[in-house]
Structures are given as C-alpha cells and as structure tokens.
C-alpha cells in the first residue's frame, strides 16, 4: 500500500480523487490538505462521501509516496516551493503550471496524456495532468495529426458548471446556468497552447486551432466537435482512429452518434466521426472531472507505478 496525499482536497477535482482512491486497492490516503477548510471533515463538505471517507482536512502535510496537487492554476509552483517533497515522491499536478514548461526545481514534469505518452510515463516522478478541454480536443485530433493530415481546425466545445471550479461565480450560479448557455474566451482559451504543443509535435506542418468554448446548463461533462477537411473516405478515417486507439482502454470510437451520458462518471472518451464531401467532423465526449482531471490523474498514477492502467477506474456511466 502506497501512502497518498491530496493537496486541495476541498475542491471538485480533489474530492473526486478522494472518491476514486478510497476504493483503490494499492493506496492508503494519508492526508487531505486544505488551508481554508482545515479541521473540517471531508464528508461535511461533500455529503456524498459520508459512507466513503471520514478523514479530516489538514493544513499540515506529511511525507507520502504519491502526491496529487489539485490547486488553482499557477498555485502548484508556490506550494512545492513552500513545502518539502521528497525526490522519490511521485507528484501529479492537475493544474496548468507544468503542461507547457515541465522544468521546476529538480523535477521535469512529463505531459500526462496516456494515449500518446504511456511509455514516457512509466516510472517517472513528475507528471503534468492535461486540461479537460485539452484532453477532449486532442483525443479527437491526434490520429489525424500523427499522419500529418491536420491544417486548419475549427472546434466548438461545451462544458458543465463544474469545469469552473467550486468557488461561486455569477456564471456558475444555478439561476444563471439553468436554461442558459454562452460562449466564453473565444479563440483565447488557456488550453489552446497546450493542445497545439502536442499536435504540432506529431503533425509535419503547423496546425491552426480556432476554438470556441461554451458554458452549458448541466453539471459535468465536455462535448467537442472539431471540423477539418480531408479527402479520405469516412471508413478509412474510422479505421485510422481504431488503429491509433487499439491499446487505449479508455477511448472508444463509435459508429453511432454519441452523447454525454455515455461518459459521465467514467474515465472514458467516446468519439464519433461524420463526413460530408471533404468536410470531416470529429465529436468527442468526456467527463471533465474524470478523464478531464481526477480519473486521468489516477490513470497516470497507475502507469507510473507499474500497475494495471484501469485499476480503480472501472466505472459505469450514469445513463439515467
């Protein structure tokens, strides 16, 4: 059993990690860190954890073998600078501090998208977990990028309110979200650079990504649609995707139309491809808190530790 600590356990991604790791057969939760809620039981913050975990949040971390950082963006560097973490501790950061530049102190963070980096993740001690939109968009485009078939990409994506974090904002309040949608950060979303860094490392020509994210009137999940041009037959494109994800246990290419309920509460990504003339649309759907955050972090932990990739992640989607 490996001792695990979660920094920022009071947030959505941190509490999802608690839910997942409480049933993981290879780990023992050692501490749940929170400055703002120190002394409070995690189940008092999240009543759904009442029968899962009764640990009390603390602001005094201890030494562990695996450390998850579930902090607001740009806060992970500060936390690592202010606290002692052993060189042999596996650190998995769920923020965006190390996705573009993985060098920090004596650590070199490896980008943790298992579908392209599985071999590089084995045995490492520092992992930068991908962003939620970045995960959904990359999984929709990587098979084409690998073959040098991407040029200009136009993507729309809609996300649930949990994607904005736990802190209440005007655009996450029920009275605003209910029966409402809106675009935000048009063409400037923080995940664009992350996606392009990975796509351009595969594609033999520079990719252009025009991304419009939307706020959805639901709690969790991400659905993206990416439009590209290709002269390949639809059947050839579908086969390209099946071959690319042949050894990816959490990615499924569907011939039928997909929807969010196929992935909510799972670490899965489902993909559906459509084509009209030379215009191709690749749809992808994930749970933003699982495959887009905490579930993928556990997947990365499993790979780094040499455990079965889907250990603790055999989750059923919530269909109704």
Report CA-CA distances (Å) from 184 to 51, 158, 190. 38, 10, 11
Task: In whole angstroms, give the CA distance from residue 100 to residue 105.
Answer: 15
Does residue 70 have an active-site annotation?
Answer: no
Q: Find the DSSP H helices in the chain.
A: 12-21, 42-45, 76-82, 114-121, 132-146, 174-177, 191-202, 234-244, 294-305
* Helix (DSSP H) and strand (DSSP E) numbers for the chain: 9, 15
Query: Which of 296, 304, 245 is CA-nearest to residue 267?
Result: 296
CA 50 remoteness from chain centre: 25
Comparing CA positions, the residue from 309, 306, 308, 234 lying closest to residue 272 is 234
User: What pairing do the DSSP bridges indicate for beta strands 126-128 and 110-111?
Assistant: parallel
CB 319 within 8 A of CB 261: yes
Supply 40's token pair: 């409070």
Q: Which of 53, 70, 132, 269 is the catalytic position?
A: 132
Burial class (CB in 10 A: 0-12, 13-18, 19+), 141: buried
Active site residues: 132
């Amino acid at each position: 059993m490996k001792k695990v600590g979660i920094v920022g356990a009071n947030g959505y991604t941190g509490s999802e990690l608690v839910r997942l790791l409480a049933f993981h057969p290879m780990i023992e939760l050692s501490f749940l860190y929170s400055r703002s809620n120190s002394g409070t039981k995690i189940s008092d913050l999240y009543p759904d954890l009442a029968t899962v975990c009764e640990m009390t949040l603390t602001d005094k971390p201890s030494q562990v073998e695996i450390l998850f950082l579930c902090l607001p963006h740009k806060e992970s560097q500060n936390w690592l600078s202010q606290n002692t973490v052993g060189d042999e501790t596996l650190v998995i950061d769920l923020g965006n501090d190390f996705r573009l530049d993985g060098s920090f102190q004596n650590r070199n963070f490896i980008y943790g998208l298992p579908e392209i980096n599985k071999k590089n993740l084995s045995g490492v001690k520092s992992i930068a977990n991908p962003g939620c939109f970045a995960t959904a968009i990359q999984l929709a485009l990587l098979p084409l990028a690998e073959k040098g078939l991407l040029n200009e990409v136009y993507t729309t994506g809609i996300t649930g309110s949990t994607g904005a974090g736990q802190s209440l904002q005007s655009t996450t309040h029920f009275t605003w979200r209910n029966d409402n949608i809106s675009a935000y950060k048009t063409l400037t979303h923080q995940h664009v650079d992350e996606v392009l860094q990975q796509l351009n490392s595969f594609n033999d020509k520079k990719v252009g990504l025009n991304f419009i994210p939307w706020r959805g009137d639901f709690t969790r999940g991400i659905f993206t649609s990416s439009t590209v041009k290709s002269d390949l037959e639809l059947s050839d494109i579908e086969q390209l995707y099946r071959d690319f994800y042949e050894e990816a246990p959490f990615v499924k290419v569907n011939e039928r139309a997909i929807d969010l309920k196929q992935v909510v509460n799972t670490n899965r990504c489902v993909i559906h491809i459509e084509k009209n003339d030379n215009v191709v649309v690749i749809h992808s759907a994930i749970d933003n808190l699982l495959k887009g955050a905490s579930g993928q972090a556990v997947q990365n932990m499993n790979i780094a530790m040499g455990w079965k990739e889907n250990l603790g992640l055999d989750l059923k989607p919530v269909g109704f």
